Structure 1
Amino acid sequence: MEPNMGRAVLLNSKQDVDINGKLFMPNLVYFSREKSKTTPHHFKAGALNALLRVSGIMTNAPIILTLDCDMYSNDPSTLERVLCYLSDKFRKPNCGYVQFPQRFHGLNKADIYASEHKRLFLANPSGMDGLFGPSYVGTGCFFHRRVFFGGPSAYIEPEIPALSPSNIVDKPINSEQTLNLAHHVSGCNCENKTNWGSKMGFRYGSLVEDYYSGFRLQCEGWHSIFCNPSRPAFLGDVPINLIDVLSQNKRWSIGLLEVGFSKFSPLTFGIRAMGILMGQSYAHYAFWPVWFFPITTYAILPSLALLNAIPIFPEVYEPWFFLYIFLFIGAYGQDCLDFILYEGTFVRWWSDQRMWLIRGLSSYLFGSIEYISNCLGVPSHGFNVTSKVMDDDQSKRYDQGIFEFGVSSPLFVPLIIAAILNLVAFLGGILHIFKERSLDNFFIQILIAGFGVLNSLPLYEAMVLRSDKGRIPIKTTITSTTLTGVLYAISYFILKT
C-alpha cells in the first residue's frame, strides 16, 4: 500500500474475541484515512466523514457514537438510555442525536484551567434542551445515521447507493468486495464534486466542526436531546499545561468567528431557520472571541490612566459610581451563583472567572487576529491537536494547583503586560491614597487594578518565585516587561499632550 493511502485494522465480530475468550471484539478497530498534499482534509470533519462512509460500507449501523480519542465509557447503561430516547418518536419525532455532557477525570481541586466548562457543557445545553435541543460538542454524542443525509423531510441520496442509511449490508466485512469499496470511500478524492461536507455528513467551513455541524443539522430541522445522568456516561483527560489550554481556545475562537461572520451566521441564517431564541443561543457561542475587546480594554486602559493620574470613572459620591459597583457585584454574583448551582465550588468558580479573563487577553485576542489575517489572505498556522500527554513533573505540579507555563509563547505576553501594569498601577494608587488621603477620584481604577492583581498571582509566582521547568521563561518576562514600558511611554505621550 502507498505511504499516503488509508489504513485499517480489522477484526471479525463473529470470530475474534478478547484475551479471555469471552467478549466479541468490534468489527472496525482502527482506521486512518488517505492523505493528500493537494486535497484539503478539512481537519477533524474530514476524518469523521471518512469514518462515516467506511462504517456505512461495513455495517451501516443506524446509530453512530462520536468520541474523542482520550475518552472512555464510564456507564454500561448509557446505550440503553440512548435507545430509549431515539426510539421514542412521540417525545421528539425529529430527534437526530443525543448529547451527553463532556466530563473529565483527574481534575485538581481548584480546576485551575477551568476545564469543566460548566456553562458550555451543562448550563447552556440545559436551556437549549427546552427548545430544539443542545448543540453538538464533538464527543459523547449518539447520532441517527439518517441525520447526515439531509433534513427530516429533505432526504439527499448519496452518490454511492451503498452509503444510503436504509441500505442493508449482507456481506462480511472482510470480503474482497466490501474491503475494496471501503478503501474507495475512504479516499481523499471520494468527495470531489459531491455533497459531502456541504449538504451531507459533518460540515466543512469551520475549525470547530462540532459546533458548525450541529448548528447546520438543527437549521435543517433536526432536534436533539440533552442527557445528563448522575453517573457520567463518558470521562476524558484534560490538558495539564496552560499553553495547550490557550492554543485549544485560540483554535475554537477562529472556528467560531468563521461561522459567526459567514453566510450561515446564527444572527441571520440561524434565526430564519430556527427562530430568534435558538439563533441567539448559537450566536452566543459564535461571537465569544469578541470578548477580547472589553477584557483587554479593562485590563490595560484603567491602569494606564491611573499611572498618569487621570480619572476616567465617576467619583465615589456621584450617582453613576453606585451603578458601576452594582453592575460589578451583580454580574459576578450571578455568575458565581449559576456556577455553584451546577455543583460547582467557590474555589473552582474563581478559577473559572480567572481563566475567562486569561482567555480574553490571549486566546480570544490572538484567535481574532488570526481570523482577520485569514480573511485578508495572510497565511497562518495549521490545525494543532491539544496534547494530553501526562509528564510526571507536570502532573505533580498540576495536582498541586500550580500553573504550567514552561515555553516561550506570544500567548503569554499580553497576560504578563496586564499583570505588570495592574500591579504597578495598584501600588501607585495606594501611594496616592496615603498622599492625598482621598479615594474619591481613583477608587474604581484602584479596584479594577487590585482585581487584576488578584487574578495575576500565578503569573507573578511563575515570573519571580519559581525555579522549576514550568515557570515563565526569562526571555518572555523581559520581552513583556519591555513592551509594558513602551506601552506606558506611549500612553504618557498621548495623555499628557
Structure 2
Amino acid sequence: MYSNDPKTPRRVLCYFSDPKVQSQVGYIQFPQRFHGINKNDIYSCEFKRLFVINATGMNGLQGPNYVGTGCFFNRRAFFGGPSTFVSPELPELSPFNFVDKPIQSSEVQNLAHQVAGCNFENRSQWGFKVGVRYGSLVEDFFTGYRLQSEGWKSIFCNPERAAFYGNAPISLVDVLNQNKRWVVGVLEVSFSKYCPLTFGSRFMGPLMGLAYAHCSFWPILSIPIAVYAFLPQLALLNGLTIFPKVSEPWFVLYLFLFLGAYGQDLLDFIVGGGTFQKWWNDQRMWLIRSLSCCLLGSIEYVMKCLGISAYGFDVTSKVIDEEQSKRYEQGIFEFGVHSPLFVPLIMAAITNFTAFIMMIMVILRGESDFEELLIQFLITTFAVVNCLPVYEAMIFRSNEKGIPKKTTLLSTFLAFALFVIAFV
C-alpha cells in the first residue's frame, strides 16, 4: 500500500483531537483500494462488501474492524482498554514516554534493535495483552476484534479520493491461496475462547458480536454451497425430484428467497458504488471461493486441530508479467498451475454441465414432467453460466495459463466416481 492523499494525516488528527471522542477512539480505518484492477474486477479483489459495505454498517455501532492496512492507531490502544492500562516491560515503550533524543542516537538505536529482535516478546505480555495480538493467521482481524472487546471504538473514514492504494493479485491461484489463509485465520478465532458469538457479544453487545461472527464464520458457507453444487444435479441425473413443483405454493417461497437474497445483494453492491457486471463477477467469485479455498481451508483447519497436519503462512504473490497482465485486462481467468484448490470447482463444473445436457435431452424427448424438475434445472443452469470461465480454461486454454490437463483429468475421474456412487 502507498499513500495517495497527503491530506490523510490531517483528517486523522481531526478525529484524534476531537475532545468528544478522543478518549474512546482506538483507530481510524480507511477502506483498502487497489490500482490496476481490470474494468469488471473478474476476481472480485475490491472486496467491496468487506472493505466498504460491512464497514459502513459497523461504523453505526462500535466501528469497523481492522483490515490490516490503511489504518491509523492511537498508541494508547495497544496498552489495554480505555479505562485500564497494561504497563509494558520496557518503560521506554509506554505511549506516555517522551523521547527527547534524536533517532540517530545510540540509546534509541540500541532500543530499536532490542525491540526488533526475534526473542523480544518471549516471556512478555506482547501479543496477548500488549501490541498486535497473536493467535490467528489473520492478526489484523483478531487485533481489531480484541481492541474493540476491550472497549475501544473505531471510525470508518471513506473520502472520495482514496487515502491509500495497493496491489491486488491478478491470477486465480494467488487469489484463492490468499483467501485460504484468511479462512484458516478466521476459523482459529471462531472456534477459540474468543468466539464472537460468546466472547464478542459479552463485551461488545449482541449486534457487534453478530457483526464479527458474520466475518469469522463465513467459511462455513462452503457446506451449503457444496450441497447445492452437487446434490440437485446428482438427483437430476437419477430423475429424482427434491424441490416443489411450479404449481405448488412452496415454489413461490423458493423463488422469493432466491430473488430476494440476490436482489438485496445487488442493491447493496450498486449503492456501494459498484456496477452490475462487477456484482456478477463478485457473486461468481463468492461461489468459486466457497468451492475451493473455503472448503479446503476448513478441511486444513480441522486437520490441524486433529494434529494430522500443520499449515504455514503463504505470502500472496503480486508479481506481474506482461502476458499475464494482458490476459487480466482482457478479463481472462488465469489458472496456469496445478492446484488442489481447483479440483472441487472443476468437479462441480463437470457435474453441473452433465446434468444440464441430460436435462435438455429429457425435455426434448418429453420423458419427464418438466414442472417437477424446474427448480433443479434452474439451479443447474445458473451454475453452468457461472462456470463458463472454467469450461473455457479446460477446453480451449489447457496449455496457455488455462487449467492444466493433470487437474482436468483428476477432477474428471473424481466426478465420474461421484456419479458411480450416486447411481449405486
Structure ranking higher on relative contact order (CA contacts 8 Å, 6+ apart): 2
2:414 is aligned to 483
Aligned partner (choices 348, 372, 375) of residue 441 of structure 1: 372
Alignment of 1:225-240 (within 5 A): 225-240=155-170
Residues 316 and 439 in structure 1, CA contact (< 8 A), matched pair in contact too? no
Q: 1:448 and 1:118 mapped to 2: Cα distance?
A: 26
Q: 1:126 and 1:476 mapped to 2: Cα distance?
A: 41
Per-residue deviation, 1:339: 0.4
Q: 1:286 and 1:408 mapped to 2: Cα distance?
A: 29
Aligned partner (choices 409, 414, 439) of residue 339 of structure 2: 409
How many pairs are equivalent? Answer: 423
1:98 is aligned to 28
Per-residue deviation, 1:92: 5.5
The SS at the match of 1:98 is strand
2:277 is aligned to 347
Residues 151 and 222 in structure 1, CA contact (< 8 A), matched pair in contact too? yes
Per-residue deviation, 1:334: 1.0
The Cα offsets for residues 176-234 of structure 1, whole Å up to 9 and x where unpaired, read as 22222221121122111111000000000100001000000000010000000000100
Q: 1:187 and 1:318 mapped to 2: Cα distance?
A: 68
Task: Report the residue type matching 1:387 in the other structure.
Answer: S
Alignment of 1:328-407 (within 5 A): 328-407=258-337
1:215 is aligned to 145
Residue 322 (1) aligns with residue 252 (2): yes
1:206 is aligned to 136
Residues 222 and 294 in structure 2, CA contact (< 8 A), matched pair in contact too? yes
Q: 1:92 and 1:180 mapped to 2: Cα distance?
A: 33
Could you tell me the percent identity over the aligned residues? 62
Q: 2:186 and 2:205 mapped to 1: Cα distance?
A: 20
Provide the TM-score with structure 2 as the length reference.
0.98
Q: 1:446 and 1:412 mapped to 2: Cα distance?
A: 24
Aligned partner (choices 417, 428, 435) of residue 358 of structure 2: 428
Q: 2:398 and 2:379 mapped to 1: Cα distance?
A: 30
Alignment of 1:255-266 (within 5 A): 255-266=185-196
Task: Report the residue type matching 2:403 in the other structure.
Answer: I
2:82 is aligned to 152
Residues 33 and 162 in structure 2, CA contact (< 8 A), matched pair in contact too? yes
Residues 23 and 82 in structure 2, CA contact (< 8 A), matched pair in contact too? no
- Runs of 4+ in structure 1 off by over 3 angstroms are none
2:231 is aligned to 301
1:167 is aligned to 97
The SS at the match of 2:289 is helix
Provide the TM-score with structure 1 as the length reference.
0.84
Larger helix proportion, structure 1 or 2? 2
Aligned partner (choices 233, 246, 250) of residue 180 of structure 2: 250
Alignment of 1:113-128 (within 5 A): 113-128=43-58
The SS at the match of 1:148 is helix
Residues 92 and 223 in structure 1, CA contact (< 8 A), matched pair in contact too? no
The SS at the match of 2:236 is helix
The Cα offsets for residues 131-164 of structure 1, whole Å up to 9 and x where unpaired, read as 1100000000000111101111110110111111
The SS at the match of 1:225 is strand
The SS at the match of 2:76 is helix
Residue 286 (1) aligns with residue 216 (2): yes
The Cα offsets for residues 16-56 of structure 1, whole Å up to 9 and x where unpaired, read as xxxxxxxxxxxxxxxxxxxxxxxxxxxxxxxxxxxxxxxxx
Q: 2:22 and 2:357 mapped to 1: Cα distance?
A: 59
Per-residue deviation, 1:467: 5.2
The Cα offsets for residues 433-471 of structure 1, whole Å up to 9 and x where unpaired, read as 122274111101110110010000000000001255311
The SS at the match of 2:162 is coil
Per-residue deviation, 1:106: 1.1
2:14 is aligned to 84
Task: Report the residue type matching 1:221 in the other structure.
Answer: G
The SS at the match of 1:385 is coil
Q: 1:417 and 1:383 mapped to 2: Cα distance?
A: 27
Q: 1:381 and 1:281 mapped to 2: Cα distance?
A: 27
Which sits farther off after the overlay, 467-476 or 297-306?
A: 467-476
Q: 2:63 and 2:316 mapped to 1: Cα distance?
A: 28
Task: Report the residue type matching 1:308 in the other structure.
Answer: N
Aligned partner (choices 265, 270, 286) of residue 200 of structure 2: 270
Aligned partner (choices 62, 68, 72) of residue 132 of structure 1: 62
Task: Report the residue type matching 2:214 in the other structure.
Answer: H
Residue 197 (1) aligns with residue 145 (2): no
Q: 1:208 and 1:384 mapped to 2: Cα distance?
A: 12
Residues 353 and 384 in structure 2, CA contact (< 8 A), matched pair in contact too? yes
Task: Report the residue type matching 1:280 in the other structure.
Answer: L
Per-residue deviation, 1:93: 3.5
1:466 is aligned to 397
Q: 1:263 and 1:438 mapped to 2: Cα distance?
A: 52
The SS at the match of 2:73 is strand
Residues 95 and 222 in structure 1, CA contact (< 8 A), matched pair in contact too? yes
Residue 452 (1) aligns with residue 376 (2): no
Q: 5+ unaligned residues in a row in structure 2: which ranges? A: none
The SS at the match of 2:245 is coil
Per-residue deviation, 1:116: 1.0
The SS at the match of 1:155 is coil
